[in-house]
Chains A and B, each alone.
Chain A
Amino acid sequence: MTGTGQLLVCHGLTRQFGGVVALSELDLEVRRGELLGLIGPNGSGKTTFFNVLTGLFPPTRGQIVFDGARLAGATPQEVHRAGITRTFQRSRLCLELSIFDNLAIGAHQRLDHGLWFNLLRRDSLADQADTTAAAAQELLQIFDPPLARRLYEPMTGVAMIDRRRVEICRALMSHPRLLLLDEPSAGMTADETNRLMDDILEVRRRFGDLTIVLIEHEMSVIQRVTERCVVLNYGKKLCEGTFAEVAANPEVRRAYLGLT
């Protein structure tokens, strides 16, 4: 494992809410191009880790280094600009808006927001809208082809499962280098989960240098798609390794199954 192999390095990451330590002295690294599974019981700090990483809750202590740049204490906007994008456990799409609008929000960083451009150069704006629509449709084609034909329909009419897909597409619209997926399969059947994971793997094949951290409860999914997992419990790292290594760890079995 070389230094250039690490995309993200967290050191001693701690986040306290009053007396509650949601994340405690977490050392965690994500290697370039890998699909890392983040698992652990409810309340073990997985989502908190995403929230701290993306700047929503600045860490109480600790370092975050992303591709050589320090990100601890950065605003969510700065974290996004550095190349980290996420989805949310509870869908945070703008339901009033169309699928296209939601995906355009994902592409925000690449769009021209100048007043002059938007108000007066309407032809160039239309061109940029066309390019964005094409990119959006390309992504939707991977996840659910019928959705691509409904690009300008409001989000309210889109089924729950498709909303999750749109949310992942919105994150991908920004061309992230690190994609954080927070339980993308929540509420899906086993078949739907499998299809979603296939689609995610397909995206990773197409976007060469995409690194993914996946929070997931379904162990068969973790086993199938991740190269490495990190197990959290009570905000601390319990262990890490391949799924087989992790699954064999007695401490993990105790945390998950309550065995003593």
Chain B
Amino acid sequence: MTAARAGTRALSAAALAAVAGLLLYGFLATESEKTVGLMLLGAVIAVAGGIRSGVLPRLVAAAGAGAVLAGLGVAMVVLVGVFHDDPFVLLLMSRALLVLVACLGLHVQLADAGVPNFAGAAFFGIGGYTAAVLGRGDLPHPVVLLASGAVAAAVGSLLLLPLLRTRGHYAALITIAFGLLFRTFLEVNDTLGGPQGLKLAGLRVLGWSFNDDRQILGVDFSGYAFYCLAALALALLAVALVRRVERSWVGVALDAVRLDETASACFGISIGRWKIAAFTLGNALIGVAGGLSAMMVGFIAPNNFTFQESLVLVSILLLGGLGNLAGLAVAALIVIWLPEKLQPIQEFRYLLFSVLVVLVLVLRPTGLVRRTSRRPFGSVAA
């Protein structure tokens, strides 16, 4: 019986991953804007139909979230194999994955603990600049990436005092001010390259340089293929981390702090402790993503980390549905990929995002996918 159940699990996960993989493949492979539009329409109808008819939720439930995650991971690896020598597509995939990691950080802060962060791009930038400065030295690059997260978290702690004394709009304003200050600071700071920015050394792990194209088993791989795999590994790790945080007493405490500070305080929950924990963990995730992203692109400048970019990150959260990881992933894909694929809208991307976010907030305030309640994590319940 357990073997049969494991079989159903694997089959459901494989089916989901195959469909998702095919969709992504079609989207990435096509060049024509008309096809992209049609595919998007088809995907929306398919997903909406799948949810309405109950097929999609049942498949996900049958597979279990872990298996679905693994399936999607495999699908992405296959896609990397398929697009092995197409740097543009690989870069697009990597960027979506790294933005997803950054949004996971924001998710812990805003969706779990209720701490707004409108300086996401700034913390992404702190990770990038840390990687730029430390990456030149002799430190092993995995350590540099960890340092990117640590520095972002440490700089974020500067904001803790004002953040703990405010909430809502006022807390949001503090992060906005920080984001603006950060960019100004970079522009006048000559050690960090000023407005011209800095060049970065490529990621190098155990002597393996990620920047070099390579031939493996007779197949040419663009260097971006390896970055994409690294970004995928980071994203899977981040998703697993966030899911574990949420399905634990920490998640319960964060929810309590977000939903009712007064009642939480009366049950001994330290508001400050959990806001600090969420803000720090979130910034660390954003920082690591920023570090890897900077190494991949090879160049960073203050202009990459504007307030607008922070807004894009937050809008991904709202679009996907605050508190839902699946929605977050879908929203990250839409927001990062669509403008690249539909060149004519590139100029108007911010306008379109704004319209999209407003439309979602008006028509579907819960976002594309609604927040689901915490699955029990006891052994009896599971």
Task: Let me know if A127 and B374 touch, CB within 8 A.
Answer: no
Interface size band for A: 35 or more
**Is B241 in contact with chain A by the CB < 8 A criterion?**
yes
Is B256 in contact with chain A by the CB < 8 A criterion?
A: yes
Q: Mark B359-382, 1 if CB is under 8 A from A, else 0.
A: 000000000000101101111111
Interface 0/1 of A104-129, CB less than 8 Å to B: 11101101110100110011011111
User: Interface digits, A66-105 against B, CB 8 Å rule (1 contact, 0 not)?
Assistant: 0000000001110111000110100011111110110011
Most chain A beta-carbon neighbours within 10 Å: one of B256, B378, B379, B380: B378
Q: Could you list which residues of chain A lie within 8 angstroms of chain B, going by C-beta atoms?
A: 54-56, 75-77, 79-81, 85-86, 88, 92-98, 100-101, 104-106, 108-109, 111-113, 115, 118-119, 122-123, 125-130, 132-133, 152, 154, 170, 174
What residue in chain A is nearest B263 (Cβ atoms)? A92
Q: Are A126 and B267 in contact (CB under 8 A)?
A: no
Q: Which residues of B contact A123 (CB under 8 A)?
A: 379
CA distance A170 to B263 in the complex (A): 11
Task: List 15 A–B pairs whose Cβ atoms lie within 8 Å, in order of A's numbering.
Answer: A56-B262, A75-B265, A77-B268, A85-B266, A92-B263, A94-B255, A94-B260, A96-B255, A108-B253, A108-B256, A113-B250, A127-B379, A129-B378, A132-B378, A133-B380
- Determine how close the nearest CB of chain A comes to the CB of B186; give it in whole angstroms: 32
- B170 adjacent to chain A (CB < 8 Å): no
Bound complex: CA A108 to CA B371 (Å): 23
A-B pairs, top 4 by smallest CB distance, nearest first, are A129-B378, A76-B265, A118-B248, A80-B268
Report the separation of the CA atoms of residues A81 and B250 in the bound assembly, to the nearest whole angstrom.
19
In the complex, besides A92-B263, A118-B244, A123-B379, 16 extra interface pairs with C-beta distance below 8 angstroms are A75-B265, A77-B269, A80-B267, A81-B268, A95-B259, A97-B256, A98-B374, A100-B376, A101-B374, A109-B267, A118-B245, A122-B377, A130-B378, A133-B376, A133-B381, A152-B373
A-binding residues in B (CB < 8 A): 241, 244-245, 248-250, 252-253, 255-256, 259-260, 262-270, 371, 373-374, 376-382
Residues of B within 8 A of A170 (CB): 267
Assess A92 versus B250: contact at CB under 8 Å? Given A56-B266, A76-B266, A81-B268. Answer: no
- Min CB distance B84 to A, Å, is 35
- Say whether B265 contacts A108, CB under 8 Å: no
Contacts of B244 in A (CB 8 A): 118-119, 122
**Chain B nearest Cβ from A50, distance in angstroms:** 10
**Chain A contacts for B265, CB-based, 8 A:** 55-56, 75-77, 80
Q: Tell whether A125 pairs with B249 under 8 Å between CB atoms, given A77-B270, A105-B264.
A: yes
Find chain A residues with CB under 8 A from B252 CB: 97, 101, 104-105
